[in-house]
Structure 1
């Protein structure tokens, strides 16, 4: 714990010193306020660059891309199984991608002109968390407002649009709106090292919980399409093309059933595509415990979402997750900001005693006698 020095009460006793401090603080604040007001009126937007603020908040604690291990909040250590493939940040080669065909312009939704914390819908919270993650690490970010399929369930739109995104970026990270990265200071590059994405890997997907509805026609568990890391290549393009065309029944008989039947594009991938693209490194299957589910789903196959949290069990948790995502990093910075000017902001009056309306400085003997009276006449921490 850092040692902080506090301003003694007798040093603050002079009204003149207090007035001088007030003057020294008030003048620059007044000038800054006038400057901010001028620019706000001139340009109708804040002077502060928001991406810069976000980067400054997280940069001191970013996890190294090529680190050999990571320790989570429970103290569990996750180690790379081999030398890291990615040793430098990929920057704009990575696209964090949201895809949705819904209007999203109602109260509490992302496309509405006004959005407040109270009343924000989970879909908006999820997409804002994706945008934040991209800003933290310098990745590109896009929300594609997709056209609707005329004769398929809405979630199918993600397949052809991921295919298009892979034409402009080396890697894409697609997340459903109820998915969040639990440790936003953890780079995607580290996760791809940990999960062993090779040059031949097409996609990475997490396996679904071990439950009856999550098995395909061959008795294997589905891979969840709510979180996908894809790598650009000709073979990846072909795979996405076959996936998008699956319901035509041209290549895959009876795939049209998944146009509307659960789980739509995920079922099509699970019953057909995964078996065509079965080279050893084509599809990297991620553990449910690490890249699916959330703590509330721990009793469903251990899918606690260590790194990637998918709140299919309770979408209402997404807004809380966004708050935690910001506050767990902002709070230490705020705490340090509070203590940095401690000699000016914290007054230590413990060397005095109260006598009616008067503060009387303790003698050395009285200070010694008071050492064992800590917390007298108080509840613990005010509770």
Structure 2
């Protein structure tokens, strides 16, 4: 599927600079300590050994293209060796749970720039700790506002997988709540890209090495699918007027088609009540555009593949919300329980990949810096005395005396 040239739209295609162009520098400030180590690992010829049986099989060395020392190149080089294959038959999460494809995968090659990772906001975001401020520091996660951390993770995910990325500062509606702006912007984005991945700023993909193509295969996005969204938790406030649970508009995957354009058009126009009487109440009343979609739009677009409903456990919530209908966010974390956890999640998202690689490097070069004196020597005053064979055996029998477990 390619962009439909009949769509008279150029503005997103022409966004090549602007506020989001500063993000390279902001992300560099946030991650520079780890990147220094990344570069060292990248340039060490045999730093990363095979890591068989692991969720992260480091079977190849990192390599940076000659002459390209940009941050984007470093990030891509860091993750490239551990990217999960697009058409893999299964995926094992960090708890050992195995997720398997059902049938032949539709997507077998990377989609690249056909995918747009999209952030949308109408606020200036230029206060201290916010994304568009001139300076941003980490300070243990306290120096960055949570929602800015979320958008940085979206930007990083796009770089890792070679997708396009745009931040759109949308104009405000005069008569409705700010979250409504996402609907017309998504509609326009689908005129320039085959697929869009939109996330609210408190939403993150938990496994940045897992490509969107694999998730599209797993969730079975067909050629007829217009949109994918997750169920909200099974709670009274999350039901529409017909007794069905709302679909959460904080995480949206949409596929370009004329029917998709029509769906987004009627969705954006819902409060005008030309087609849906009673929809004006959702201009300002919770849950705004989500309630409009849930009460009206999805019942108009009801072909079997039009709207793909994703499980709440996989594409909504976070571990802190597991007691709310099991919505623990296996693949997609939505931190509506505690938005303050987003900056921590950004740190975890990087460190879950960096720490195992640093650990493997430590073991690989252990012969140079690990000295095993225990079991071969004993301490006597200020001296280290080599043990006899009898003393070595006695020491084994007494191992652990006068010690506590690590960290306790």
TM-score (norm 1): 0.84
User: In the alignment, does 2:403 pair up with 1:375?
Assistant: no
Structure 1 residue ranges without an equivalent (≥5): 1-28, 30-46
**Number of the residue aligned with 1:180:** 204
User: In the alignment, does 2:161 pair up with 1:137?
Assistant: yes
2: CA distance, partners of 1:54 / 1:361? 48
In the alignment, is the contact (CA less than 8 A) between 1:57 and 1:333 conserved in 2? no
Say which SS state the counterpart of residue 228 (structure 1) adopts.
Answer: strand
Q: Deviations over 1:179-226 (max 9, x none)?
A: 111111111111111111000101000011121211112221111100
Shift of 1:154: 0.4
User: In the alignment, does 2:143 pair up with 1:122?
Assistant: no
In the alignment, is the contact (CA less than 8 A) between 1:292 and 1:310 conserved in 2? yes
* Alignment counterpart, residue 305 of structure 2, candidates 263, 278, 281: 281
**Number of the residue aligned with 1:37:** none
User: In the alignment, does 2:342 pair up with 1:318?
Assistant: yes
1: CA distance, partners of 2:121 / 2:358? 36
In the alignment, is the contact (CA less than 8 A) between 1:222 and 1:266 conserved in 2? yes
**Matched ranges for 1:134-213 at <5 A:** 134-213=158-237
**Matched ranges for 1:1-383 at <5 A:** 48-117=69-138, 118-350=142-374, 351-381=376-406, 383=408
2: CA distance, partners of 1:264 / 1:195? 26
Say which SS state the counterpart of residue 281 (structure 2) adopts.
Answer: helix
With 51-60 and 245-254 compared, the bigger mean Cα shift is at 51-60
Which has the greater radius of gyration? 1
Say which SS state the counterpart of residue 269 (structure 1) adopts.
Answer: helix
Shift of 1:377: 2.9
Shift of 1:365: 4.2
**Number of the residue aligned with 2:34:** none
2: CA distance, partners of 1:106 / 1:374? 57
Shift of 1:243: 1.0
Shift of 1:71: 1.8
Shift of 1:332: 0.2
In the alignment, is the contact (CA less than 8 A) between 1:98 and 1:177 conserved in 2? yes
1: CA distance, partners of 2:303 / 2:104? 22
1: CA distance, partners of 2:378 / 2:218? 59
- Which structure has more relative contact order (CA 8 Å, sep 6+)? It is 1
2: CA distance, partners of 1:346 / 1:289? 44
1: CA distance, partners of 2:396 / 2:233? 57
2: CA distance, partners of 1:276 / 1:380? 62
User: How many pairs were matched up?
Assistant: 339
CA separation of 1:261 and 1:113: change in aligned 2, threshold 3 A: same
With 68-77 and 325-334 compared, the bigger mean Cα shift is at 68-77
2: CA distance, partners of 1:71 / 1:342? 29
Shift of 1:333: 0.7
TM-score (norm 2): 0.79
With 299-308 and 283-292 compared, the bigger mean Cα shift is at 299-308
**Number of the residue aligned with 1:3:** none
1: CA distance, partners of 2:179 / 2:362? 47
2: CA distance, partners of 1:349 / 1:169? 61
Shift of 1:358: 2.5
